């Protein structure tokens, strides 16, 4: 009897420890903003993609962890010699979450819908180059472009270009139906969104059975939720000052990566005195990026000398061209005809990088004689006055869209920057498909901006990821606004 009893005890222990060691398969992630809805083809909000991109919805291609273009619903593609015709071979046996089959019809429907005149797609420009979409056979689609476009495969990887089914396209806002490894579970408004593993997924099954995105806008609450274990991962943690607290805590992994957010001191290039190159150079040389990043971001952020993300293969470090040198700045200012400096305004949107950064930059500009009056604005006011109205002298903002070097080539953009040579360069880049050649052109374009200084380039916004030490597979960098859960798993 005692033998039986001890055997039973041993068995219980073994079973007990085994179940304790079975990896967890659920994860609660914290996000700052609640999405307005869940249809990435009908809204610009990054909060939508942060939940559904690569998890619920997939496109022909997708963007990987390092910003590279990867195959997704298209397993391969051919590009015609003139660069205008893309033939995509689609994966077979792909089902939407509602059980309907995915094929070329859905691709044609999705792309035609996005580029339709009545389309509500927030990034219609991605589809502007498409001349027509033809279904060759159920698993082959041929897309003809108006002209060669080196960005086309990248563009098809945006969250706005995901493939939706005609049956469910209208209801995706509330009940998203895609082809991804997770299907929509539940949305408790104001609180959380739950995704469940899609057991019928065409690719390899994700390790997580259930993923919950909890919406926590308050930085103090975010800290508390992580410390209490209510949330096990915060891919973009909102409070830089509390990050060191987690770095010394062995229960957590702190991963500081980069994002696509180039933070700049925007200058109104059409308005004197900022139309003078020497004034712009003086301002750029007056800024101590190290002090700025330490004071604003608590040291998290990569200094940039042009408008390009440091994690990109074609990145080149040009910070030396606008190195901190107040003496040189004063000299340039005097040469431009402002030996005593001048008065100006600095309009700041709400994010902490702008409000705190603005105070530091105003102090640094004051050191060379430029008296910048700080004007804090709400987002709506900022968009109205600065972004649309171009009624400003200086402003600070982070440009978080991927692949957005071309904003300096736009005619009607808030920088009021007009450089025909740069515009030509951007056109050439757009028409070039060869990757090595593109990288070379990108470097050239970065140098043009670093020399011409249409804005003072400050730092790349960091991606301050904090998660439980037992979690792996979350992205280090943020090349696109997404929380890809495909490879996320618990290790213990």
Partner 1 sequence: MNGWRKSPARFKIGLLIMLVVGLTALCSFVWTPYPPTAIDIASKLQPPSMRHWMGTDHFGRDILSMVMVGSRTSIAVAIAAVAIGIGIGVPIGLLAAERRGLIDDALMRLNDLIFAFPALISAIMITAVFGPGALNAIIAIGIFNIPVFARATRGAALSIWPREYILAARSTGKSDRRITFDHVFPNVSHLLMVQATIQFSLGILAEASLAYVGLGTQPPMPSWGRMLFDAQTMIGVAPHMAIFPGLAIVATVLGLNLFGDGLRDMLDPRASSR
- Residues forming contacts to partner 1 in the complex (CB under 8 A) are 219-220, 223, 239, 241-242, 244-245, 291, 294-295, 356, 358-360, 362-364, 374-376
Helix (H, G, I), strand (E, B) or coil at 131: strand
Nearest approach, Cβ of 282 to partner 1 (angstroms)?
19
DSSP-H helix ranges across 96-187? 104-115, 152-155
Nearer to partner 1, 239 or 481 (CB): 239
What is the chain's alpha carbon radius of gyration, rounded to the nearest angstrom? 25
Nearer to partner 1, 223 or 446 (CB): 223
Nearest approach, Cβ of 319 to partner 1 (angstroms)?
18
Nearer to partner 1, 98 or 371 (CB): 371
Name the nearest CA neighbour of 259 among 311, 322, 206: 311
- Other C-beta atoms closer than 10 Å to the C-beta of 78 total 11
Q: How far apart are the first and last CA of the chain?
A: 36
Helix axes 352-366, 277-286, angle to 10 degrees: 110
Nearest approach, Cβ of 359 to partner 1 (angstroms)?
5
Question: Which residues does 461 contact at the CB level (< 8 Å), separation at least 6?
Answer: 258, 259, 261, 262, 263, 301, 353, 398, 400
**Positions of E strands within 356-490:** 371-376, 394-399, 455-468, 471-472, 489-490
Nearest approach, Cβ of 332 to partner 1 (angstroms)?
22
Nearest approach, Cβ of 379 to partner 1 (angstroms)?
13
Nearest approach, Cβ of 342 to partner 1 (angstroms)?
18
Length of the chain: 492
Nearest approach, Cβ of 188 to partner 1 (angstroms)?
27
Tokens for 15, please give them. Answer: 């079973």
DSSP string, 172-233: TTTS---SSSEEEEEEETTTEEEEEE-TT-SSPPPS-SEEEEEE---HHHHHHHHHHTS-SE
Helix (H, G, I), strand (E, B) or coil at 234: strand
Nearer to partner 1, 221 or 328 (CB): 221
Nearer to partner 1, 121 or 239 (CB): 239
Nearest approach, Cβ of 295 to partner 1 (angstroms)?
4
Beta bridge partners of 197: 182
Nearer to partner 1, 241 or 391 (CB): 241
Nearer to partner 1, 41 or 364 (CB): 364
Nearer to partner 1, 185 or 376 (CB): 376
Nearest approach, Cβ of 254 to partner 1 (angstroms)?
15
Nearer to partner 1, 281 or 364 (CB): 364
**For the chain, what percentages of helix, strand and coil (3-state, to nearest 5) are there?**
35, 25, 40
């Amino acid at each position: 009897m005692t033998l039986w009893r001890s055997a039973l005890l041993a068995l219980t222990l073994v079973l007990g420890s085994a179940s304790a060691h079975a990896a967890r398969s659920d994860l609660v992630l914290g996000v700052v903003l609640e999405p307005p809805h869940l249809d990435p083809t009908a809204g610009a909000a990054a909060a939508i993609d942060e939940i559904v991109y690569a998890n619920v919805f997939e496109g022909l291609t997708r963007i990987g962890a390092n910003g590279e273009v990867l195959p997704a619903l298209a397993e391969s593609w051919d590009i015609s010699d003139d660069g205008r015709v893309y033939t995509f071979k689609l994966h077979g046996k792909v089902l939407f979450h509602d059980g309907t089959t995915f094929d070329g019809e859905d691709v044609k429907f999705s792309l035609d819908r996005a580029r339709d005149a009545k389309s509500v797609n927030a990034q219609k420009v991605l589809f502007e180059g498409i001349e027509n979409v033809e279904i060759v056979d159920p698993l082959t689609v041929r897309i003809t472009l108006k002209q060669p476009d080196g960005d086309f495969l990248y563009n098809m990887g945006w969250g706005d270009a995901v493939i939706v089914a005609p049956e469910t396209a209208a209801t995706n806002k509330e009940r998203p139906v895609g082809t991804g490894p997770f299907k929509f579970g539940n949305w408790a408004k104001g609180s959380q969104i739950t995704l469940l593993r899609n057991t019928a997924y065409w690719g390899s099954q994700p390790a997580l059975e259930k993923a919950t995105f909890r919406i926590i806008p308050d930085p103090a609450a975010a800290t508390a939720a992580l410390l209490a274990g209510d949330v096990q991962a915060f891919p973009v943690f909102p409070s830089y000052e509390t990050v060191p607290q987690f770095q010394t805590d062995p229960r957590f992994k702190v991963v500081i990566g980069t994002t696509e957010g180039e933070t700049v001191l925007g200058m109104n290039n059409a308005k004197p005195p900022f139309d003078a190159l020497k004034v712009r150079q003086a301002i750029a040389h007056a800024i101590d990026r190290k002090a700025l990043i330490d004071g604003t971001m608590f040291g998290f952020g990569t200094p940039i000398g042009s408008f390009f993300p440091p994690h990109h293969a074609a990145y080149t470090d040009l910070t030396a061209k606008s190195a901190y040198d107040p003496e040189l700045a004063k000299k340039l200012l005097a040469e431009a005809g402002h030996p005593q400096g001048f008065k100006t305004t600095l309009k700041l949107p709400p994010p902490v990088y702008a409000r705190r950064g603005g105070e530091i930059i105003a102090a640094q500009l004051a050191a060379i004689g430029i008296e910048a009056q700080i004007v804090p604005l709400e987002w709506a006011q900022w968009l109205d006055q600065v972004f649309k109205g171009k009624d400003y002298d200086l402003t600070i903002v982070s440009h978080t869209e991927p692949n957005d070097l071309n904003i300096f080539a736009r005619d009607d953009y808030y920088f009021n920057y007009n450089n025909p040579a740069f515009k030509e360069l951007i056109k050439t880049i757009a028409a070039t498909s060869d990757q090595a050649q593109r990288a070379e052109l990108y470097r050239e374009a970065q140098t043009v901006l670093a020399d011409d200084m249409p804005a003072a380039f400050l730092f790349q916004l960091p991606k301050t990821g904090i998660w439980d030490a037992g979690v792996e597979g979350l992205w280090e960098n943020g090349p696109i606004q997404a929380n890809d859960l495909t490879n996320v798993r618990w290790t213990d």
